[in-house]
Amino acid sequence: MYLEYCIDFYRMKHDDFPILFELINNNRLVYLDNAATTQKPQAVLDAIVHAYSRWNANVHRGVHYLSQVATQKHEEARKKMAQLIHAQLDEEIIFTKGTTDSLNMLAFSFGEAMIKEGDEIIVSQLEHHSNIVPWQMLCERKKAILKVIPLKEDLSLNIEAFKELLSPSTRLVSIAHVSNLLGIVNPIEEIIRLAHEKGVPVCVDGAQSVPHLKIDVQKLDCDFLAFSAHKMYGPTGLGVLYGKKKWLDKLPPVEGGGEMIEHVSFEKTTYNVLPYKFEAGTPNYIGSYAFGQAIDYVQQIGLECIAKHEDDLIAYMEKQLAEIPHVKIYAAGLFKAGAVSFNVYRADGTLIHPFDVGVLLDRQGVAVRTGHHCAEPLVNHLQVPGTIRASVAMYNTRNDIDTFIIALKRSIMMLD
Ligand code: PMP
């Protein structure tokens, strides 16, 4: 039954991604570094060529034909993003350069308007650096305090401790929906509910969740959501900051320049309406169009179908990893979206350095990520120099996982 479902799925999807036919060190590429970035289907590659070849012109400025086509494509893409996450209004979608840019923009803007000395911002122990450093910088600027939700022994968030951290001084909670290192799905609904009970807004780092889970910002009731196009089959250099209109209306722009203004004079400049107030300069309209095509591609298959397939691959991989002696899987058994992290130990209990395993896997054509995965506080908590992370996307197959496991066993034999 499973095979029946997946054979068509594999054939169709695998063949749509030209890079998957590359040979790496004379081996078929098994690409398991999707949490870092996904590969692009032909439809997205074609969209970029099509846009530059047929209708390239700067948006929002020209009365000429090409400029109007480009503007229309860019705004249609915004609508697709709004539909993807079920935002109430298109103007709640701000185009950015990526999740990092979205979070920095929010930290700056929210910080300017809402944060003063002694205020508190809450993040967690398992955040990506992009959801730590902008808040840390803000706290330094404003003499505010960064509080950290600790982890339980199984590496899930300690929600009881979170309840204690929420105080009358808390101004914002910013939490990853899915941990990029562990792959675990945080109880974001509960976090949002608890924060809202205290009148505190919540920003969700959706870099790893939007590509894998169906997100409905209205149902979640999150106040902000950040994600990147390149982790969801789209181009690099494009991301989204979603914000509830009631918040975005209150927050000041971050960058000044073209697009974001209504009128400029040396005496006083007035700002444009949403979302343009936050989009200074020429936007990445080729990127937004290409990401729109990626979303169409994903929706043609169905996010739920993709998620089912990826969940199967993760469960299949975790089961096989668990059978290899001296492999330690982090957050074993917890529900994961898209990624598994582990380390390998020798029989004498010493750690085989994750880089060494990564290099040997690469020689066999298997691409995984090794290191701290931009989550150093979490890696320090695990008391290791790094982990090996294998992460899947729609085009991966059980065959990929088998190849990876064989290559891993071979690597361990060489390093043990
Ligand atoms: N947050 C998380 C959870 C991530 O996984 C990543 C990317 N690894 C980021 C933020 C940053 O995304 P980007 O590099 O696309 O800005």
The CATH number of the domain where 409 resides is what? Answer: 3.90.1150.10
| pLDDT tens track, the chain, 416 positions | 454 455 566 667 788 999 999 999 899 999 999 999 999 999 999 999 999 999 999 999 789 999 999 999 999 999 999 999 999 999 999 999 999 999 999 999 999 999 999 999 999 999 999 999 999 999 999 999 999 999 999 999 999 999 999 999 999 999 999 999 999 999 999 999 999 999 999 999 999 999 999 999 999 999 999 999 999 999 999 999 999 999 999 999 999 999 999 999 999 999 999 999 999 999 999 999 999 999 999 999 999 999 999 999 999 999 999 999 999 999 999 999 999 999 999 999 999 999 999 999 999 999 999 999 999 999 999 999 999 999 999 999 999 999 999 999 999 999 98
Question: How many CA atoms lie within 13 Å of 300's alpha carbon, on the beta-carbon side?
Answer: 11
**338 shares its domain with 296:** no
Distance of CA 122 to the CA centre of its chain: 19
Most ligand 1 atoms within 8 A of CB, residue of 33, 97, 100 to mutate: 100
Is residue 362 situated within a structural domain? yes
Most ligand 1 atoms within 8 A of CB, residue of 180, 181, 378 to mutate: 180
**335 shares its domain with 248:** no
Q: Decide which of 270, 300, 330 is a domain's last residue.
A: 300
Is residue 9 situated within a structural domain? no
Task: State how beta strands 369-371 and 93-96 pair.
Answer: unpaired
Between the alpha carbon of residue 144 and those of residues 117, 220, 250, the distances in Å are 5, 27, 20
Residue type (1 letter), 347: A
Looking at residue 228, which CATH number applies to its domain?
3.40.640.10
Tokens, residue 89: 């209004």
pLDDT of residue 416: 87
**204 shares its domain with 287:** yes
Q: Residue 237 Cα, ligand 1 centroid: separation in angstroms?
A: 12
Is residue 245 situated within a structural domain? yes
**86 shares its domain with 162:** yes
Number of domains in the chain: 2
Residue for token digits 């750690």? 351
Tokens, residue 53: 């070849």
For the beta carbon of residue 308, count every other beta carbon within 10 angstroms.
Answer: 14
Residue 36 CA, closest ligand 1 atom number: 8
Is residue 38 situated within a structural domain? no
Is residue 151 situated within a structural domain? yes
**222 shares its domain with 359:** no
Distance CA 176, CA 350 (A): 32
3-state SS, residue 52: helix
Q: Residue 130 Cα, ligand 1 centroid: separation in angstroms?
A: 7
**54 shares its domain with 202:** yes
Q: Which of 385, 367, 368, 388 is nearest to 376 (CA)?
A: 385
Residue type (1 letter), 115: I
Ligand 1, atom 8, lies closest to the CA of 36
Query: For ligand 1, which residues put their CB under 6 angstroms from it?
Result: 98-100, 128, 130-131, 176, 180, 205, 207-208, 228, 374
Q: Residue 66 Cα, ligand 1 centroid: separation in angstroms?
A: 34
Ranges assigned E (strand) in 211-272:
224-228, 239-243, 261-263, 270-271
**90 shares its domain with 209:** yes
Q: Which of 280, 178, 271, 278 is nearest to 232 (CA)?
A: 178
Most ligand 1 atoms within 8 A of CB, residue of 204, 230, 374 to mutate: 374
> Is the pTM for the entire model greater than 0.85?
yes
Q: Decide which of 272, 300, 328 is a domain's last residue.
A: 300
**155 shares its domain with 141:** yes
Is residue 6 situated within a structural domain? no
**174 shares its domain with 288:** yes
SS (H, E, C) 315-333: HHHHHHHHCCCCEEECCCC
**264 shares its domain with 387:** no
Catalytic residue list: 374
Q: Decide which of 282, 300, 318 is a domain's last residue.
A: 300
For the beta carbon of residue 323, count every other beta carbon within 10 angstroms.
Answer: 8
Do 155 and 330 contact (CB within 8 A), yes or no? Answer: yes
**333 shares its domain with 216:** no
Is residue 356 situated within a structural domain? yes
Residue for token digits 């949002």? 192
Q: For the chain, first and last CA: distance in Å?
A: 39
Cα torsion 13, 18, 24, 26 to 10°: value is 90
Do 253 and 280 contact (CB within 8 A), yes or no? Answer: yes
pLDDT of residue 8: 66
Is residue 240 situated within a structural domain? yes
pLDDT of residue 226: 99
Ligand 1, atom 14, lies closest to the CA of 100
Range of the domain at 394: 14-31+302-415
Q: Residue 8 Cα, ligand 1 centroid: separation in angstroms?
A: 31
**313 shares its domain with 280:** no
